[in-house]
Amino acid sequence: MKRVGKPVFFIVAIFIIVFTAVAFFGISTQFGDVETVYIKGAGDIRWGIDIRGGVDVTFKPADDAVDVTDAQMSAAEAIIKTRLVSQNINDYEVYTDYSGQRIIVRFPWKSDETNFDPAAAVEELGETASLTFRDGQGVDDEGMPTGEVILNGSDVLTASVVFIPNELTQITEPAVSLELTDSGIEKFAEATGRLAESNGVISIWMDDTMISAPQVNEQISDGMAIISGNFTTESATELADKINAGALPFELVTDTFRTISPKLGMGARDAMFLSCVIAYILIVIFMIIFYRLPGVVAGIALLGQIGGTIAAISGFFPFFSSFTLTVPGIAGIILAVGVGVDANIITASRIREELYNGKSLDGAIDAGFKRGFTAVFDGNITMVLIALILMGAFGTPDSFLAVLLKPLFFAFGATTEGTIYSFGYTLVVGVIFNFLMGITASRLMLKSLSKFKCFRNPALYGGAKSC
C-alpha cells in the first residue's frame, strides 16, 4: 500500500460518521404538508409483518385429488391480488408455488386498524365467490341449489353499489347493480321474459348462500340487473368487490395461517434496537481495553458497517425501493456485525503478535493486515455463499438468484419464505461492508494514526511498552 498521510484518519473517520448519521436520519425538507426526501433514513425502512404486524397465510386447493393447472394457479393469484386491492390493502406480497400448488399471501396489519379482523380477511380472500342466477329457489337435502343456472359471474361486466327505494317503506337502501355482457344480456332477457309469464322467481347465489330471490314481473332487456336485500353499504360494497374480482377457478383452503399484533412486533423491534446499541457500546469498550488503538479504529469501522447496511436496506436514494426488514433480517445484521468484530480482532491480534516478534510498528501493521486478511476472507466468502444460497432458495421465484439456482432446487418448488430471504440479504450486505470498513477503512485509519508521534508507542497497539 502506498504511503498513508496523517490527514487520512480524519478524512475516513469523518466520512464514516457523517455517512452513518445520514443513513440513520436521512435528509428531507418539509414545506407545509409536502415532504421532499433527498436521502432515505432508517425511518423509511419497510418493516416485515413480523415487526409491524400483519397476516401470513398459505392457501392450497381444497381437493388434493384435483389436478390444478398452472394457468388456474395464475388466475387464482390474480384474483387474490384484486381482492386485496379492493380492501385497500396495497402493500402486499403474493407468490405462487406452482409445483407445490400453494399461494403464499402476506399483508400488513397497521396499528390504527382497531377493527381489523385478520381471520375474516383471510376467509374472504379464500372464498370461491361464484355468483349464479338460478331458475327458482329450490335446494336439495343438503341445502345446495338445484335450479338451472341462468347467469354466472362471467356474464357480469361490472358491479357497483346503488341506492334504491324500498318498495314498502320508500326509504333508500343500498343494493348492487350489475351491468351484463352482451351474452349475459341475451340470456337474462330470455329468462326474465319466460319467467315473467308465470311471475316466477330468480334466486341469486354467492357460492352456496342465497342472497336474494326477487320475483320476475317483466322482461329485462336493458342489460342491467339489481341485487337487493338486507344490505348495509359495507356489505353491498363487499359483494360488488367480490363480483368484480371474479370467482376463483377452484376452491381454496387455508394450509397455514399466522397473525402478529402490531404492538407485539414493534415492541420486539424496539427491544432489539436497544439491545444492539448496548451490545455495540460493550463491544467497543472491550476492543479498546484489549486491543487499545486498533479497538478505537474497529469501533469506527463497525459504525460504518452498520450505517452501510442500513443504507442498503432503506434504499438510501429515493429512487431505490426499501428492502423489507424482518426479525431474522435484524439477526442477519447482528451476525454480520459479529463477523466484523471477529475480523477486527483477528487483525489486531496479528499486529500484536508481529510486535512481540520484534517487528517495527509500520512492519507489524502491514504484516498484521496481510496475515489476517486470509482468515477474514475465507470466513466472509463462506458466509456470502451460504447467504446467497438462502436468498436463492427462499426468494421469489422470478428473482435472479432463484433462476440461477433453479437446477439445485427445482424439485422443491418455490418456498418464498421472506423472513429467511431477509436474513440472507442483510448478511450479504453486512459482510460486504465489513470488507469495505473492517479491512480497507481500518487499515487506512490505523496506518494514518501510526504517523503521529504520539501514537508511535507499540503499547498502543498491544505490544510491549517502548522505553
For residue 2, being part of any structural domain is answered with: no
Residues 314 and 432 in one domain: yes
What is the rounded CA–CA span in Å between residue 439 and residue 456? Answer: 21
Q: Which DSSP state fits 439?
A: I
Q: How confident is the model at residue 149 (pLDDT cuts 50, 70, 90)?
A: very high
Residues 144 and 265 in one domain: no
Which pairs count as long-range contacts for 2-10, CB under 8 Å and 24+ apart, including other chains? 4/444, 4/447, 4/448, 4/451, 5/448, 5/451, 6/448, 6/451, 6/452, 7/448, 8/444, 8/445, 8/447, 8/448, 9/444, 9/445, 9/448, 9/449
Q: Which helix (H) or strand (E) holds 132?
A: strand 131-135
- Quote the pTM value: 0.67
Residues 38 and 58 in one domain: no
Domain count, the chain: 3
At residue 246, does pLDDT exceed 90? Answer: no
Q: How confident is the model at residue 444 (pLDDT cuts 50, 70, 90)?
A: very high
Residues 442 and 308 in one domain: yes
Residues 449 and 368 in one domain: yes
Lowest mean pLDDT among 147-151, 217-221, 459-463: 459-463
Work out the average pLDDT over 75-90: 79
pLDDT exceeding 90 applies to what percent of the chain?
21
| Residue reference for cell 470466513 | 379
| Residue reference for cell 423489507 | 324
For residue 292, being part of any structural domain is answered with: yes
For residue 1, being part of any structural domain is answered with: no
Residues 256 and 333 in one domain: no
pLDDT exceeding 70 applies to what percent of the chain?
89
Q: Which DSSP state fits 26?
A: -
Query: For residue 107, what pLDDT is reported?
Result: 82
For residue 467, being part of any structural domain is answered with: no
Residues 331 and 451 in one domain: yes
Work out the average pLDDT over 248-272: 78
Work out the average pLDDT over 205-218: 84
For residue 140, being part of any structural domain is answered with: yes
Q: How confident is the model at residue 463 (pLDDT cuts 50, 70, 90)?
A: low
For residue 398, being part of any structural domain is answered with: yes
Query: For residue 302, what pLDDT is reported?
Result: 94
Residues 140 and 76 in one domain: no
Digit-coded pLDDT (tens) for 150-201: 998 888 888 899 998 877 777 888 988 989 999 999 999 999 999 888 888 9
| CATH for 68 | 3.30.70.3400
Query: For residue 70, what pLDDT is reported?
Result: 86
Of 191, 207, 211, 307, nearest to 252 by C-alpha is 207
C-alpha cell at 114: 382497531
Digit-coded pLDDT (tens) for 330-388: 889 989 999 999 999 999 999 999 888 888 888 999 898 999 888 888 888 998 888 88
Work out the average pLDDT over 285-309: 92
Q: What share of the chain is helix, strand, coil (3-state, %, to 5)?
A: 55, 20, 30
SS3 state of residue 358: coil
Q: Is 157 left (phi over 0), alpha (psi -120 to 50) or beta?
A: alpha
Lowest mean pLDDT among 128-132, 136-140, 261-265, 389-393: 261-265
Structural domain including 150 reads 131-238
Residues 421 and 376 in one domain: yes
Q: How confident is the model at residue 309 (pLDDT cuts 50, 70, 90)?
A: very high
Digit-coded pLDDT (tens) for 47-62: 877 777 788 899 999 8
Query: For residue 430, what pLDDT is reported?
Result: 93
Residues 448 and 349 in one domain: yes
Residues 120 and 135 in one domain: no
| CATH for 310 | 1.20.1640.10
At residue 412, does pLDDT exceed 50? Answer: no
Digit-coded pLDDT (tens) for 413-440: 444 455 677 888 899 999 999 988 988 9
Query: For residue 395, what pLDDT is reported?
Result: 63
C-beta of residue 430 within 8 angstroms of C-beta of residue 339: yes
For residue 110, being part of any structural domain is answered with: yes
| CATH for 181 | 3.30.1360.200
Among 73-87, 235-249, 333-347, 451-465, top mean pLDDT goes to 333-347
C-alpha cell at 277: 446499541
For residue 137, being part of any structural domain is answered with: yes
Residues 123 and 137 in one domain: no
Look over the chain and give the mean of its residue pLDDT values, rounded to a whole number.
Answer: 83
